[in-house]
Amino acid sequence: MRILAIHARTFSYDIVKPAIEEPEGVSSDLKKQFENVLVLFTSIENTDEPDVVEDAVAEIRGLIEQIKPAEVLIYPYAHLSADLAPPDKAVEILNKLHEKASSSLQIPVHKAPFGWYKSFKLECYGHPLSELSRTITRRSTAQRRPIEKKYFIMTKDGELLKPEEFDYSEYPELRVLVDKEVYGRELEGGENRVNDYSKKFGFEWEPMSDHGHMRYNPPAVVIMDAVSRYSWQVARSLGIPVFRVMGTNMFNLKARPVYEHAVLFGDRLYELQVDNEKYVLRYAACHQQFAMMKDWIISYKDLPFGVFEVADSYRLEQRGELSILFRTRKFYMPDLHILTRDLSEAVEVAKKVQAKIHEEAAKLGRKYIALYNVTEDFLSENRDKLLEFVKNENSPVLIAVLPAGVYYWVINVEYHIIDNLQRPREIATFQIDIGNGKRFGITYTDEKGEKKHPIIIHTAIIGSVERYIYMVFDTAALMEKQGKVPYIPTWIAPVQVRVIPVSREFLDYAVKVYEEIAKHGIRVDLDDRDLSLGKKIREAAMNWVPYIVVVGQREVETGTINVKIRVNNDQRVMSIEDLVSRVHEEIKGYPQVELTLPGKLSTRPVF
């Protein structure tokens, strides 16, 4: 807090016009003219917390004892600092200062309204103590209030048990989750093969950026693009209308809903300052979608519907926790928000989301273990609804019960896999949000013509793009641990088919095969380098190409191709039409993106 204190013989001000979107209210009996007044031009800074008020009042008391003014005026004044607090925070601290000073000082204390342009006239006494400045800092760093959680295991019969009372013999993966979340125990792990796979496919840290930011080489771009497109496809498969939007990635903390949402989100915020304004980089698509939907005219007849964006998102993760693909500071979140009329409708729609989350994991051969974060009031008032969700899970669930009103949601479900190092890793999620409709001013008109705030479901059905890819690679790591040949699904493989001539003598035929396959929208390339056949085949295998096509004399004579199939290590003689048909069958229902590399390997640099 910065204060410029002036002992004025006379001081008066007039309110001109609003300086912010929602200025403080002005009462008709507000005093605007003063004599023998201590004017406290005051700036509230970004690092200030309410505990600064007590020290500020002590400073003011000392000034009053020396100067002997007849009254005090607290005058909000933004020009004393370049690091201003958001408006809501500033108003809160200024009002506390006014309240504390009024109750503890022996003379009248007034406060000019915040958020207005004001003109003023001032006549200063001019004595040695008539102009003083003070900087008052908080005495201790404000900490996020610790939230006490109570943990239980809920069975499919609706029984609630303490974690130590539950028999985990049939649910070893649930035990792993409980050990981490409840007892803070996690296996130390070891060498994570996912890191090796990430490097193989071109996912790397960017050393010239902030820690925790990634870069994507051409193979990685295919995977990222395919998963991003697929996330949109999954969102539309829920059976409700879904609108796709795009937006900015930074929001001004002066906006009340942005600031309040940031406070509720808690730690790990990326903040930056531009032109003396504080901004927060979005940590999901919430800000942008909510800012848009508050301007939409919505009827109850339109609900439910969803709004979707693959949002570049930022979280200031701790350095020691960074993990490529899994815990990064910038990532892409396929964020879907579904507006519903009330809690009952939200629960019914959330069941569809829940089913879709499990369906997508099953396509990769995985099963989720669930952590349910619920508020005390939701558990007590809607235990039957909670049980409906639990019955649809793969196993009993871990439940963390939190006090009501701490967050904007009443239920927040995290879906974890147990990875190849026996660690729980959160991938997908959904939440039921009862607060942000009102906070951001989103309304719909009900059957009676009245304005209502919707209940909002937040979900990333497949998880962030990167975490979904982590699950894909982790699935391959589990295959490798079991002695199987690891592979990734053909629809996200950077190269789906590679054509290799036995020697340069058969390059022309190889080119024809390559061009024919490419006509069908398949990501195919041609190894036309002057290398041995064995080296080319080994490199294709190392790159996990699903189909390796080798052509030589026999293939030229018969018009066929010799195909090595990675998924089952089989080798077959096929026609081009058969291979195309097989690939199309494997990628059916998935987006098909373009090759991000030149088709001929002889034209590629090494990266």
Domain boundary among 474, 507, 535: 474
Q: Which long-range contacts (CB under 8 A, 24 or more apart) does 263-272 make?
A: 264/407, 264/408, 264/435, 266/144, 267/144, 267/316, 268/315, 268/316, 268/317, 269/315, 269/316, 270/314, 270/315, 270/316, 270/329
Average pLDDT over every residue of 333-360: 98
CATH number of 317's domain: 3.30.930.10
Inform me whether the pLDDT recorded for 143 exceeds 80.
no
Q: Do 469 and 342 share a domain, yes or no? A: yes
Q: Do 402 and 329 share a domain, yes or no? A: yes
Average pLDDT over every residue of 491-505: 97
Q: In angstroms, rounded to a whole number, what is the distance separating the alpha carbons of residues 480 and 539?
A: 18
Residue with the bigger pLDDT between 275 and 376: it is 376
Give the closest residue to 206 by CA, choosing from 311, 329, 320.
329
Pair 466, 194: CB distance under 8 Å: no
Q: What is the model's pLDDT at position 266?
A: 67
Average pLDDT over every residue of 331-345: 97
Q: What is the model's pLDDT at position 144?
A: 46
Give the closest residue to 521 by CA, choosing from 564, 580, 563, 576.
580
Cβ count within 10 A of residue 270: 18
Report residue 57 as tokens.
């009042």
Split into its structural domains, the chain has a count of 3
Average pLDDT over every residue of 245-274: 84
Q: Do 63 and 200 share a domain, yes or no? A: no
Q: Do 371 and 470 share a domain, yes or no? A: yes
Q: Do 443 and 502 share a domain, yes or no? A: no
Contacts of 436 (CB under 8 A, 6+ apart): 257, 261, 286, 290, 408, 442, 456
Highest mean pLDDT among 62-76, 244-258, 419-433: 419-433
Q: Do 120 and 174 share a domain, yes or no? A: no
* Average pLDDT across the chain, whole number: 93
Q: In angstroms, rounded to a whole number, what is the distance separating the alpha carbons of residues 155 and 57?
A: 55
- Is residue 573 a part of any domain in this protein? yes
What would the pLDDT profile of 553-581 be if each residue is shown by its tens digit? Answer: 999 999 999 999 999 999 999 999 999 99
What would the pLDDT profile of 416-462 be if each residue is shown by its tens digit? Answer: 999 999 999 999 999 999 999 999 999 999 999 999 999 999 999 99
- Is residue 572 a part of any domain in this protein? yes
Range(s) of the domain holding residue 528? 490-603
CATH number of 564's domain: 3.40.50.800
128 upstream amide cis, omega within 30 of 0: no
Q: What is the model's pLDDT at position 146?
A: 60
Inform me whether the pLDDT recorded for 140 exceeds 50.
no
Average pLDDT over every residue of 297-325: 94
- Is residue 253 a part of any domain in this protein? no
Q: Do 442 and 565 share a domain, yes or no? A: no
Residues forming beta bridges with residue 45, ordered by sequence position = 84
Q: In angstroms, rounded to a whole number, what is the distance separating the alpha carbons of residues 407 and 260?
A: 10
Report residue 238 as tokens.
């829920």
The C-alpha R_g of the chain, in whole angstroms, comes to 31
Average pLDDT over every residue of 592-606: 94
Alpha carbon of 68 to those of 7, 36, 107: distances in Å? 9, 9, 10
pTM over the 0.85 mark = no
Q: Do 419 and 515 share a domain, yes or no? A: no
Question: What are the residue ranges of helices labelled H in 182-255?
Answer: 193-200, 218-236
Strand ranges of the sheet holding 250-252, from the earlier edge strand across to the other edge? 250-252, 277-281, 271-274
Residues forming beta bridges with residue 561, ordered by sequence position = 574
Q: How many residues make up the chain in this entry?
A: 607
Domain boundary among 421, 450, 474: 474
Report the range of poorest mean pLDDT among 59-68, 295-304, 585-594. 59-68
Question: What are the residue ranges of helices labelled H in 237-375?
Answer: 256-265, 286-293, 343-363
Q: Do 43 and 184 share a domain, yes or no? A: no
Domain boundary among 416, 442, 474: 474
Q: Do 167 and 306 share a domain, yes or no? A: yes
Cα 242 versus chain centre, distance: 19
Q: Do 99 and 61 share a domain, yes or no? A: yes
Report the range of poorest mean pLDDT among 46-60, 228-242, 333-347. 46-60
